[in-house]
């Protein structure tokens, strides 16, 4: 079976490393306000809140940007790299996991929209896209693990 648009299996370990770094860095940034010293750069900022220009140069620490980028690349490699033996049943499990992750994330957003307001809601909205990938990964790997352990019993 030809399954396109997936990363090669050998990139998966790299993905796990990046994902772990992204989660740890993102976590300590969000909850402890930690910023890696020396990462202050003059960044290009489009459509800034203040000022009238649409482009602005802003001095900023890029710890959070770094964490986001590393997390997204890691999650994509972990979630969308091929299995050692990739076949149509695996593809079906992957698609079903995506469906469940979509339901779970958007369901969560529905509840959040009703219950959360002001900055809490803003923070919540920030974490929805990365949360979607994480739920998908958990769902997919759980099903693959169950499949392997169940078929080993027989």
Partner 1 sequence: MKNNIRVERAILKITQQELADRIGVSRQTINAIEGEKYVPSTLLALKMAKVFNKPVEAFFWLEETD
Residues of this chain that interact with partner 1 (CB under 8 A) are 1, 83-85, 87-90, 92, 147-148, 150-151, 154
Residue 66: CA count within 13 A, CB half-sphere? 16
Nearer Cβ to partner 1, position 1 or 44?
A: 1
Nearer Cβ to partner 1, position 40 or 87?
A: 87
For the chain, what is the largest distance between any 2 Cα atoms, rounded to a whole number of angstroms? 68
71: exposed, middle or buried (Cβ count in 10 Å: 0-12, 13-18, 19+): buried
Nearer Cβ to partner 1, position 3 or 53?
A: 3
Smallest separation (angstroms) from partner 1 to the CB of 142: 14
Q: Which residues pair with 42 in a beta bridge?
A: 59
For residues 42 and 59, the answer to whether their CB atoms sit within 8 Å is yes
Smallest separation (angstroms) from partner 1 to the CB of 89: 4
Nearer Cβ to partner 1, position 89 or 121?
A: 89
Smallest separation (angstroms) from partner 1 to the CB of 75: 24
């Amino acid at each position: 079976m030809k399954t396109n648009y997936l990363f090669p299996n050998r990139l998966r370990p790299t993905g796990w490393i990046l994902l772990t770094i992204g989660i740890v860095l993102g976590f300590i940034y969000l909850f402890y306000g930690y910023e890696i010293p020396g990462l202050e750069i003059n960044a290009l900022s489009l459509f800034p809140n203040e000022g009238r220009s649409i482009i602005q140069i802003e001095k900023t620490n890029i710890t959070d940007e770094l964490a986001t980028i590393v997390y997204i690349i890691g999650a994509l490699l972990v979630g969308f790299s091929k299995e050692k033996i990739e076949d149509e049943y695996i593809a079906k499990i992957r698609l079903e996991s995506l469906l469940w992750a979509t339901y779970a994330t958007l369901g969560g957003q529905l509840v959040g929209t009703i219950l959360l307001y002001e900055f809490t809601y803003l923070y919540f909205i920030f974490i929805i896209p990365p949360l979607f990938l994480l739920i998908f990964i958990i769902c997919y790997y759980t099903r693959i693990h169950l499949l392997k352990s169940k078929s080993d019993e027989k």
